[in-house]
Each structure stands twice: as structure tokens, then as C-alpha cells.
Structure 1
Amino acid sequence: TDAYGIGRTGSILSRLVVILRQLKLKTPYTSRLVYSPEKLSFMLSELAKEVDRPGTEPTANLKYSNSPNSLNIDPGKEGQKLSLPGTKERILDSLQRREHNIDAVIAITSSTLSDSEIESSKERALSFVGKKIVLNNGDNSVIITDQELISALKLPTGIEETTLNNIITAWETKFYREAQEPEFKYDKETLEVFSFTPPLDGTKLEAQATRVEIVNLMQQIESGTDENTLKGNLSLERTAPKTSLAETNDLGIKENIGTGTSFYAHSIVNRIHNVAITTDKLTLHIVRPGETFSFNKTIGDISATTGYRSAYVIKNGKTELGDGGGVCQVSTTLFRAILNAGLEVTRRLPHSYRVSYYELDNKPGIDATVYAGDVDFRFKNDTDQHVLIYAQANSQDLAMKVELYGTSDGRSSEIVDHVTWNPKPALPTQYIPTTELPSGKLQQVDWSAPGISAKFTNIVKDKDGNIKSEVTYTSNYRPWAAKFLQGV
């Protein structure tokens, strides 16, 4: 019976009689408890401010790539958080039981590593130092460095899913592309090209398959592989364009038959400009069947009057300012595309010195210099169909690509037996005065390289596997000095 309800109904006299009777009978009663949910919630929120303590999960961090001494293991910091539903339930239960002291419900939000776990985590992370994972799919590729791999480790064991998911999510954005329909407009008589858009498959990253590939490769690293670079498949779902390139023309230009790439990081502004303008002059040029292509003839005059800027070129055995510095970036990239396609090279000359840009993605000796007259790069279209040169220079990423479109006759091309010999030390650093920089300021424009001799053989086979051609290219590079612009 509720004590609060005794003597609350009826007339004053009857209520008084009930109260007096209960005093005599001494019957036990219960009291009814009432609480304010709003006030209880407020009280709990204030308590949470006192109880909640953020923690941090254990992490591994490699400050410098390939540097074991820069590895740091953070054992983490224990955190706690008030459980609002659990504590509220205990409070309400204690009111019914007339309990005055209760324990709040507190959840541990993060744990810390023990001394032994710190040591085991360090050994585990060290196995990733100097390692990297490369995932490829056609022209698409990604690299996960040792720093990124170590940051994706959950300590003491497992994978930190949030970190790995962040990497994959960024790739999903990078590799998402709608299918690109081909476009090709040209003059059938002169073969002047007005516009060209190559067909491209639409792509979408298969996130789960990519995650499985990464985890498998990470497990191989933990197992103690001797390989520093582990290669895997970048899983992409592809959607083909509705129209084929062959449907846009009757020249036999229907597919990619060769590709060449190069990079030119650290180039000065004028060199970047010259690479771009030369690429614009080269791209969309059609080479007829049996025709010999001349780089110099196609590009034309290289001077300030044709839009070129002064940049550093190799001339008369030394580096000096001259119109067109950077043109050889384009001829070198074209040379690589021709090698890849297996077309016949009729003239190629190496540089006098090793040029650092050309070894950013290749071994020494796979370059082609041009200057004027007979210092040219030439090749013959020895296929039965036309060949379109499609060149692109990315002045932001400082990378360029030359693609050749035509009809494959089944030939294959490979580079074999690359060797180097006769090494020589680099020359002393050179400082080149310039008024384009503040006095005393230095800007490096070239990197030192030792002299060396290099050669490789390009073997081209026909569709039946018979050797069509076997050409050896030899280069003899003199020592090369690092060069700095020095403000005067």
C-alpha cells in the first residue's frame, strides 16, 4: 500500500478517522518514488565530464622511410567513458532498493601495451622497414610505402582497419572513371588531325578484393620475405566504351600499339614550358605506312620566335642556356614508345652526359638526343597501316606519355641484356650565376651522376615468334656535375 495515499480521499472527518486508525494499527506502507528524467540526464552528463578520459590506441610510426632508427612505438594511453544507459539503470534500481552508494558503469575505451608487447610490436614493425607494396593494373599503379604499411599495423597484432580503409577510399576516388568514347576527326587528304580522343575503359576500384590483396602481401612481409618490393594486382572493374576506335576512321588506327613514359621532376619553369610546347607540336601527327618520321622536321624551328624559352641544354660538351632546353625529354619519351611498339628505329643518338630526368623511371642508356640537322631521332613505320602519335605532357605532375595508335600485326618487343661498365666519379658541383634569384639563394637544377657506359638490346619478334630485328644500342656518358643556380 502506498503511504502517500492514506487519508487523501473523502471528507475531512473520514480522512482524520483513517489516519488515527492507521496510527493505532501500525500497518507497514511503502512510499512512492518519483524522479525527473531531465534532471537525472543532466546529472549524468555532468558526471561524464568528470569521468570521461580520452585515450589513444598503440601505434607504430616510421619518421623516415628505410630508416630503422626512426621507428617509434607509442604504447598508447588507457581511456575511459561513462556508460550513460548502464549507470542510469543502476541508479533507478538503487532507488527501489534504498541503496545510497552505487558504482558508476565505466567502459575502457583503449588499452596500452605491456613491456613485452612493446618489444614484440617493435620487432614486427621493423620487418616492414625498407619494404613497399606495388599494385598494378595496366597503366594504373599505386605504391604503399614502408611508412604507410607500418602506420596500418594494429598493435600488438592485426591490421588497423581505419587506416587501411582510408588508403583504399582515396584510391576509390582516384581510379573511378566513366568509360571514354573515342573521337577522331581528320582531313582524309592531308591527314591533318583536328581532334583525337582515345577510347578508355571506365574503371571502378574493387575495394574488398584490393584489401585482401594488401593484407596477403603484408602477411608475406611479416613472414620474412627477402623481397623489398612486393607486387600485386590492383583490382579494377572495367566497362568498355560503346564505340571502338576502328569505327572512327579508315586509316587502320584502331588500337594502342606502343607506349613510352618519362618524368622530369625538379625541372625549372622554362624547361617545363619547353616540354609542353614540344609535346603540342608532336602530338596528333600521323605517319603513313612505309614513311620515315623525323623528329626535327616535325617539330620545326626551335627558337624564341616559335615560343621556346631559354633553359639549360647540353651544347659543345657543356651545360649552357639555350632556346629549347627540355626538347630531348620529348624525343626520349618517343624513343621509348617506338621501342615498346617494335617499330624500326633508323636514327638515334645518346646524350653526351647522363641526364637525371631520364633515369627517374629507367636504367641508363634509354634516351635519345636531338638538336638540329642530323642530330635527330627517326623511325620508320614498317607496318601496313597508319600510325598516330598521341603525346601528353602533365606540367603539374611533371610526367609525360607518348602513345602510338595503329594496327597490331602481332609483333612483340622486349629489351634484354642491359649492362653498364666503365664507371667514373661525378665532377665537382657547379654554381651558375643568375639574376633571377635573390642574391645568395641557391636552386638546384641538375643532379650529379657518374660517367658510365651502357648498352641494351631490343629484340622484335613477329606474330609467329620469329626474330624480326635485333638491335643493340650503346651509350657512353661522361661524368656529370650537380648544378645550382646562384643568385647574384
Structure 2
Amino acid sequence: PGEGVFSHLWLLLRGRNLSPILSFDEAAARLYLETLAEGIDQPPVDAALTLEGTTPTTSPARPGRALDVEATLAAVREALPELGREGVDLVVREVPPQVADAEPARTWVESLLAEELKLVLPNPQEGDPGPWSIAPEELAGMLATFVNEGRLHATLDAERLRAYLQGRVAPEVVVEPVDARFHFDEETGELVVVAPSAEGRALDVEASVQSVLAAVGAGHHVAPLVLRSVPPRYPEPITAEELGIRELVAEGDSYFIGSPSGRDHNIRLAASKFDGLIVGPGETFSFNQYLGEVSAEAGYDESYITAGEQLAIEVGGGICQVSTTAFRAALWGGYPIVERWFHHHRVGYYELRGYGPGFDATVYSPLVDFKFVNDREAALLIETEIEEAAHRLIFRFYSTDDGRRVEVEGPVITDETEPGPPIYQLDESLAPGTVIEWQTAQNGLTATVERWVYDAAGNLLYHDTFVSQYAPRRAAYHYGPGYQPPEP
């Protein structure tokens, strides 16, 4: 016990030299270094391309730096025994940029934007559209860049180029294919070609994108487009058996005797547009679609049309004779009528030879159309014919008879109204005192026609009610100078 007391007293008075015991908290050191790195690290700067209008410029690359935390921790661990006498250097590494050089992109863009880019058709023919020129300013908006082996390159963006081709070029390039036109030989049951088919064409957008990219990539300022052919749906080799055309299934007619020469001409021209055409199963027939443009340039003459209270003269007058005849064929054929409009006034031509009011169909492209659906499983072949002696227009429908039966009743006439007093209009071109009747008076009325269509088993397929409300039409006279019209 005594020795212990003396030992403690000795330690208190003189002390003793002991070796230090050191402890290294690596987690705390890592956290410290990561915090320190926030003030040391600098990201690298890639070489870049910028445009000022259509002038490309570049900015140089600059390397960055980053504190290597793991390497610094290893250095600290190694220096622990000497830590009291010497410090430890931080390990900072250089971070290279991903894009070291933008000069390839600048050079290519400068060359591309030096002049316009022309897109041309392969082997263009007279009358073909093009070339299409893309100005440097527009090309600048289509640029895209990519990195290859640390160098920046440029090209045209495929999506933007595709949008340009689809919006600007494709609509001008397209040529619709032309189906062959046929007549049906009832004796042989075969189709007879009356007009040949023709292939159409369209822009192959995807192939054209690749063609343009390849051309500009090679430094060219003229790039060829790529076209693809579009075959007709009904070429000459097709047969009646393939289409299911076996017999006459419907017929409609109308008479236009007494028509002025312009109206007569227009009826014949418009009727020819429908002769020999095929309407596929399930397709909707649009009169205006097949009629096409109605203009003097398309060959039509001026003639009378119904317009408000008085007849008017317009290019294409008389075409409604053709749409009326097509309506009658579809009506008697039991086809679903999708769109049909009646005339503002009754038209005498459409009430000849047993037809009453309510069996007409007016058209006025593109606003007013006549449409029906070919709801049979077989195709429908339309033939038109004019019997010259009677001035009779006929629409014949050939298909497969599916046994449907059609019943039509009417017209039932209601709400008949008389016209007002005659209209007199001065015409300075007439001889003094001359009076001519411009249009005859006609009662207004409502005509109702009903149709029932039954299938082969007698089940009702369709029931239609066609209501036509015709306005009364006053008589109209044109008179020359000096004539005094009667008081109304």
C-alpha cells in the first residue's frame, strides 16, 4: 500500500512519457472532403457552335477540375504517423470536356448556309412541280448537331426535314392513280374496258429524307427526292368475277328534252364522268368527288340554274339532271342514301314522263352533295347512257343481286302555295317595247316520298322518308326600254 501511494505521488510530481493512441474517423473525413469539393470542383466546358443569323461561330473547350476524394483519403491514411509534422496535399484531377473541337460543325454549316438547298424530282417531265428551294435562313432552323470521337459535327434534323417534305413537297408531287373504266357485257358476263388505268405517284418521304441527308452530308446543294408509284385499285386485268359484278341491279332515268344547248352539253359532259366507274363494297359514293371541277376550263358551258326567286345563268347549269338520275338509280336499287338535297323550286325537266316532284337531287360543289353507300358485299359498276331520240339519261347499276326488294310510295303533295305577282326587270339590251318571259310561274308545295327496303328473307333493312319543300316561283319578264310594266 505504501508503494502505491509513493507511485502516485511520483507521477503527480514528475509525470511519465507515454506513446499516443491515434484514431482516424474515415466517414467524417470523407464528408469533410466532399464538402470541400464543392468549392474546388469546376465542370469542363465543351466546345460549342452558335449561329448569328446564318453565320456560324465556335467557342473553345475548357477542361474542368475535380477533387479526387478517394485518392485524398488514401493519402491521409498513409500520412497519419507523420501527420503532426507535415500536411497532406489534396488530390485534384483535370476533367476533360466531352467535346474538344467544334470546328468540323462550323465548317460544314458555313458551307451549307452559303447558298440555298434545291430539292429536285428524279427525271422531271414538263409540267412537273419543283424544284423546291430552301433558303439559308430556313435551313438554319433545321440544323442539328452530334458528337463523334470528341468532335462536334452538324447535319439537318430528320424530323424537321420530314415535316418540310410532308407539308411543302408531298402535296405538290402527288398524282392520283386512275382506275380503269368498264362496261358490263350482259351476254358474256365479262367486263369490257372503255378507258385505261394509270399509275399514280407519291413522295416517298422516308427515302427522300435519307436522300437529302446523304446529299448535304456530301456537301451538295442539290438533293434528289424519291418517288414511289401508286397502283390503281381497279386495273385492266381485273375481272367481273373478282368484283362480284354479275347482273343489272338498278336503273334510274330522267328526260332533258327541250334543254338549251349549254344545258344539253353540260348534262352530257357530267354524265360521262360517271360512266364505267366502280364503287367498292362498303364505300360511300360522292357525286361531287367523281364530278370533279366545274368550270369553263373544265369544258362546261353557261346555262340556267335555280337561284332564289329567279333563274340565273351560271357555268355548269344542268348538272343537277345527272345527280337527279343517279339518285333515282340508288333509290330504286335500295342503296342507303347518305346525303340528298331538293331544289329550291320545282324543275320541270325532273317531272317529265311520269315522275312527280320529290324525285330530284340538287348538287353544288363543294357545299351540296349527293351520297349513297354501296352496302352490298360486291362492287358496284355504274354505266351511263343517253338515248338520243328521247333525250333520256340513264344510270345503270351492275353488281350481285342479293335479293333485296324495294317499295316506293309517293309523292304525297301537301302545303301547296301559289306564287306572288310577276317580276318585271328592265333589260337595256332588248329592243324598245319588247317583253319576253324569263321564267314561268310555279306553285310551291311539299312532296313526301317514302321508301322501304327489305332483304331476301323479307326483313326490313331501311325505311326512308324524303321530304322536299319547294318554294313557289313567280313568273318573271324582261322588257326593253319604253315598256311600262303593269302595276302589281
TM normalised by structure 2 equals: 0.48
Structure of greater Rg: 2
> Which has a greater percent of helix?
1
TM normalised by structure 1 equals: 0.48
